[in-house]
Structure 1
């Protein structure tokens, strides 16, 4: 039976310059098999035969492989382990590829006379591994392909010479060579998909064809293959460090010096962070004790946006060591996992830095142009109060747009509104004349120290305080309008002989008395005639209130955008878009049949009585199918837009319909049209000593 063998080959091995005395490469990687007829061989790294024995022995290599396996992700360990895969014959630099290929073919033909399976005989360490692997496990023997390929990116390409699976030779194998660039952190990696958000709600029962598809036996475990490829660089690092191939006394001294400097830096950062932690914990205790007083509770409700964003900022300050050291060493072995964790860390830091930068920009601008800012705010407040509110109320007291309103009721509503506007405007302008400079300096300093979100939240709360009289007038007129609408609806049901059944939530027939009809008629007429006057004032104050609410909502959206914008991802996408993969694809370089036997090409398998020499000559006639592993990249929208999905998550069609119906029925309008920004984690409550060690370990482990 023919075996489909896919060899995932690092591009660096085909383009690297090995010592001229090196003839063979010892291959390390993973063997991933889903069935007896298909096998994936992922080559992670390789070392030349005359280089390894100078630094190691068989036991040392096995110990290094065991240690490298221990550092791999658990998912990969459950599927396969790092092993010695086999050997590859390097091309000779002193002769052309065809001559070197023919000489190697003669050696292999001669070797078949002395071996039942056709394996080459080596000396030393390679022969030990070959004998052990051939008898018990897997051994692949590769040679360089003498044919040339159209791609200029490739050097020499491996071709299958011999294959042992589970201790048995496999002369009939269809070879498919997949060339990939070794993933590196900060450069690129491979991923099958990019969706990291929560899964959507699936239907309760999947179609039958989906169940049948999952029941089929897989011929390719692509998830494990991609995971192994992403771990190849880490496996090489683990192996090289254990073999101590690049150690020297000068490097050891430099490493010890850098370690001392890093420990000193970690101590300084941990000490400063602990001092800040003590200050924030003291502030937390003070606010907890002050919450028992009603004045503090009232201030917390009035400045709710400022308080909420201050909590978010405190959590960012306290949890920076957790974000910095959120992944273990096993997760760092896979480049994909390390990249995701790194992007989360970078997003956290970049958001904080961008917030502070914008806060300094706004803060220093306010301090420099303090008088101009105060004059502009005062002008806007006066124009809004005089030209909009007062003029509008006076206009409604007359004949607005030609409508004949009830003069007495319009006069009452107008006088009440004008008095409320006058009283609150006097209080507000008097307070701002006294505390204007203090407020501007407080907003500027909060922006310089804590970032832009805090002063923007303070401005939002102050706008809400300045428009408190509009909220109050709208609330009162909405109560009156809603009550009037409900009474008119009840009286209309009375005339129709219907009554609302609250238990069954429906209208039932009901017989009313004559007295009830008379009283209903006396109430219905004046209420219906007074409804236009109430409606005009309600519409005017609703427009004013909605204008303020939309302005505050826009400011809150700006705050959410500042919090959620992935500044680091945007910068990395512009400079290194390969760090954001979205699926893979294969570029086929040679499309000729990859069958390794001529019998398969003609439809008849080779005879079982053929000699090993005949099998070998048949095996050497074919050329492997060659493909380059490529990666798609995310678009700018796919990188940025998922971070904004929660900004207006509470706004959808049903919410808008309920708000519109509430406005028509006189219900109060919600002042929170966008989602809040609550702290996602609880308040940190650990001892000062433990927090110092957490900060110290977070900084020091970055060196590793």
Structure 2
């Protein structure tokens, strides 16, 4: 490390308190100019702490250190010590105990405001003078509560997708600007980039395990040094062995026998259920022949099939997700957190889905006759009686329009006859409708989503005649429009060249021109009548599609609502990081935090001086400098000897930014994009304009093509 380099020290904020005493600093030395402090270990000898770290980093018996070695890819080290503020400079560094195996030995003291001040630094046994330094405070995350710091927002989408090109991080760009500003404040214009920030964040996320592990082992060793404790420990171990042997004879022997009797059939049953589930999923995803329904998958024939497929996929993946989470619960990665949130969110959603489904299902079962009668009444009013009145109205002059009477009579009688046929079919099926409603109510055991999907399929079946009317009217309209376009080209003396896909000139005979002109005139006068009937049934079809889209949206709401993520966001925003934010540190932050009375006194002082108001909470603080400069104490003051250069330090806060709600509701954003791209697009307008059938959007469900774990992380 050269003299002009900026030394960066990541410091946990909980150490800056009145309870912190002198002790040794434990953490990681990432590079020559970057170090991360994890804990301050007091009341321990240097040799004992050195032996403790060397033993644990090699043995791996302690689970906390096993986590650190697996994730951080480096073992923790002794970084230095916190010394009293009144210690002389000559005794700050423990030169006799610093040898070459310590890559860094840092001496730090806490001032009256509990702010750390680097005093000296020894690297490989030689003193190094650093004129510029940065201390970046962080709030230590608790991994047991799923708290962690992340450079990028947490990606909750665990579905596999195509890899995208690597783009420069916006957080890194902002960090470079902040560090550039801090270097300018500290008087160091040439600023280096923090390329090791990712490794430092991993170390920060593991600092909780390191601090608790070292402190617990140190406390255990201190207890072992006491004679009475050692004797009590031996007595307790003997009693423990006696109790274990008695429990083994009286309790565990029958339990093992019962477990062997019950566990094997239970495992066989689970494997059988998984095999049946996988076979059913494969069957639902099979496609029909190409000549039948355009090779659609079996599950896409109905909303209920899609819902059954989704629930079976969840049932099939849940055991695997749980085992992977239990196996990789030490992995302190954002992908593991996303997997955890997705797993428990789906569990909560299914539980709520079943609870609401049981309530709605019981209502349908108890009132199936009333619901069936109401359903038939509404469908008859809006899909039969209204269409009848429209057909009879078209026989007259609708809205003052003069339609072709013969063609209008033919079309009205045709559709009235089809309505009569459909009404007779519904009368035959009407007695069985209460039983269908009752079956839908019983399906509430599988959740309200199954009830909604079955109601969507029932709606599609009960409005099948509207779909048939629309297809007939659309075909007639499309044929007439295509014929009019061809006759219009003939009228202009042109024809379409199918080989070159263009319109070319053509010489027609006189009889061809006369016949084409007559047909073009005839179809032109018949076109308004066809247009009126087509618009009527097209609007009816659009209304049915709109109702089905509402039901699909409700299904998406119950299947993919981020309930667990929202609760985590409200309860503890550090569990769902949205990136990092860096703020300028104020020198009296820790004093105000641990001494509220001092904060009130300063507010009264500023109010008395007339520099603050009660409404401004931030004005209670005095004017703070952007940088804090400290002058090293001198052992002797001589006028002839030039004073040593001053240390210039920049202090920053590094905190998590809460994840935005748009990232939490990412599935609804995707579904809304699909809806808007389908129904509010030129495709639908073109279908309505040319009489082509409007295809409903595919089912709004997210497939569970999940990423897989690999070496403690999740990959595609």
Q: Same fold (TM over 0.5)?
A: yes
Q: 1:58, CA displacement in angstroms? A: 4.5
Alignment of 1:300-315 (within 5 A): 304-315=302-313
8 Å contact kept, 2:281–2:312: no
SS at match of 2:542: helix
The 3 A distance-change label for structure 1 pair 547 and 581 is same
Question: In 2, are the aligned partners of 1:69 and 1:82 still within 8 Å (CA)?
Answer: no
Tell me: CA distance 1:402–1:537, structure 2 relative to 1, closer, same or farther (3 Å): same
Equivalent residue number for residue 198 of structure 2: 223
Are positions 1:10 and 2:47 aligned together? no
Match of 1:85 among 54, 79, 85: 79
Could you tell me which residue of structure 2 aligns to residue 192 of structure 1?
151
Residue equivalent to 2:220: 245
Distance 1:299 1:634, change over 3 A: closer
TM-fit CA distance, 1:402: 1.6
Tell me the residue number matched to 2:229: none
Distance 2:278 2:396 in 1: 55
**Residue correspondence of structure 1 range 413-452 to structure 2 within 5 A:** 413-433=411-431, 435-448=432-445, 450-452=446-448
User: Aligned-pair distance for 1:512?
Assistant: 1.9
**Number of equivalenced pairs:** 611
- In the alignment, which residue of structure 1 is the partner of 2:609? none
Distance 1:255 1:505 in 2: 89
| 1:371 paired residue number | 369
SS at match of 2:132: strand
Q: 1:481 aligns with which of 477, 481, 506?
A: 477
Residue 174 (structure 1) aligned with residue 132 (structure 2):
yes
Could you tell me whether the CA contact under 8 Å between 1:6 and 1:175 is conserved in 2?
yes
Aligned partners of 2:278 and 2:195: how far apart in 1?
55
Q: Corresponding residue for 1:649?
A: 674
Please say if 1:131 is aligned against 2:99. Answer: yes
- 1:498 has 2:494 as partner: yes
The range that moved more, 241-250 or 572-581, is 241-250
Q: CA deviation at 1:285?
A: 5.1
**What CA distance in whole angstroms lies between the structure 2 residues aligned with 1:142 and 1:415?**
96
2:696 corresponds in structure 1 to: 671
**What is the match of residue 62 of structure 1?**
54
Pick aligned residue for 2:110 from 126, 144, 148: 144
461 and 9 in structure 1: CA distance in 2 versus 1, 3 angstrom threshold:
same
- Give how far 1:529 is off: 1.9
Looking at structure 2, the residues matched to 406 and 5 of structure 1 have their Cα atoms a distance apart, in angstroms, of 90
Compute the displacement of 1:363 (Å): 1.1
Aligned CA distance change for structure 1 residues 632 and 679 (closer, same or farther; 3 Å): closer
Instruction: Name the CA distance, whole Å, in 2 between partners of 1:275 and 1:225.
Output: 47
Distance 1:654 1:332, change over 3 A: same
Where does structure 2 lack aligned partners over 5 or more consecutive residues?
Answer: 178-190, 224-232, 588-624, 709-716
Matched ranges for 1:568-583 at <5 A: 568-582=564-578, 583=580
Verify the 8 A CA contact 2:584 2:626 in the aligned structure 1: no
Alignment of 1:196-595 (within 5 A): 196=155, 218-219=193-194, 221-237=196-212, 239=214, 245=220, 275=269, 278-279=272-273, 281-282=275-276, 304-327=302-325, 332-334=330-332, 336=334, 338-433=336-431, 435-448=432-445, 450-582=446-578, 583-590=580-587, 591=625, 593-594=627-628
- Please list the CA deviations of residues 25-51 of structure 1 after superposition, one character each: whole Å capped at 9, or x if unmatched: 222211223xx6xx2211112322437
C-alpha separation in 2, matches of 1:447 and 1:622: 71
Asked whether the equivalents of residues 7 and 132 of structure 2 are also in contact (C-alpha less than 8 Å), the reply is yes
- Seen in structure 2, the aligned counterparts of structure 1 residues 643 and 378 have a Cα distance that, compared at 3 Å, is closer
Alignment of structure 1 residues 566-645 onto 2, 5 Å:
566-582=562-578, 583-590=580-587, 591=625, 593-594=627-628, 618=644, 625-641=650-666, 643-645=668-670
Q: For 2:46 and 2:342, locate their aligned partners in 1 and report how far apart those are by CA, in whole Å.
A: 39
Conservation of the 8 A alpha-carbon contact between 1:302 and 1:461: no
Whole-Å Cα distance in 2 between the matches of residues 493 and 436 of structure 1?
A: 53
Quote how far apart the aligned CAs of 1:525 are. 2.2
Superimposed CA distance per residue, residues 337-386 of structure 1 (whole angstroms, 9 cap, x where no aligned partner): 55333322222222222222221222122123333322321221221234
Q: Secondary structure at the match of 1:218?
A: coil
The alignment's C-alpha RMSD in Å is 4.5
Return closer, same or farther for 1:331/1:225 CA change in 2, 3 Å cut-off: farther
Change (3 A) 1:552 1:229: same
Q: 1:273 to 1:486 in 2, by over 3 A?
A: farther
**Cα distance change of structure 1 residues 236 and 642 upon mapping to structure 2, 3 Å threshold:** farther
Task: Look up the match of 1:120.
Answer: 94
Q: Single out whichever of 177-186 and 634-643 deviates more from structure 2.
A: 634-643
Q: Distance in 2 between matches of 1:265 and 1:13?
A: 50
* 1:330 Cα deviation after fit: 6.5
Output the TM-score relative to the length of structure 1: 0.75
Q: Measure, in 2, the Cα distance between the counterparts of 1:389 and 1:519.
A: 37
> How many angstroms apart in 2 are the aligned matches of 1:402 and 1:505?
42
Q: Deviations over 1:553-575 (max 9, x none)?
A: 11111111221210111222222
Distance 1:678 1:574, change over 3 A: closer
In structure 2, relative to structure 1, the CA distance for the partners of 1:384 and 1:415 (3 Å cut) is same
Residue 73 of structure 1: how far off its partner (Å): 7.8
Cα distance change of structure 1 residues 567 and 243 upon mapping to structure 2, 3 Å threshold: same
What secondary structure does 2:209 align onto? helix
CA, structure 1 residues 312+363, in 2 after alignment: closer, same or farther (shift >3 Å)? same
Which SS does the other structure have where 1:652 is aligned? helix
Q: Per-residue deviation at 1:158?
A: 2.9
For residues 8 and 559 of structure 2, the distance between their equivalents in structure 1, rounded to whole angstroms, comes to 46
Q: State the alpha-carbon separation in 1 of the partners of residues 27 and 166 from structure 2.
A: 41
Distance 1:541 1:430, change over 3 A: same
Secondary structure of the 2:379 match is: helix
Cα distance change of structure 1 residues 622 and 526 upon mapping to structure 2, 3 Å threshold? closer
Question: Does the alignment pair 1:662 with 2:687?
Answer: yes
Contact kept, 8 Å, 2:10 with 2:36, in 1: the verdict is yes
- Which residue of structure 2 aligns with residue 161 of structure 1? 119
Q: Is the 8 A contact 1:396 1:414 kept in 2?
A: yes
Give the drift of 1:276.
Answer: 5.5
User: What are structure 1's unaligned runs of at least 5 residues?
Assistant: 92-100, 112-117, 149-155, 600-605, 685-704
Residue 281 of structure 2 contacts residue 309 of structure 2 at CA under 8 Å; is this kept in 1?
Answer: no
**In 2 relative to 1, CA 437–382 (structure 1 residues): closer, same or farther, beyond 3 Å?**
same
Deviation at 1:618, TM superposition (A): 5.0
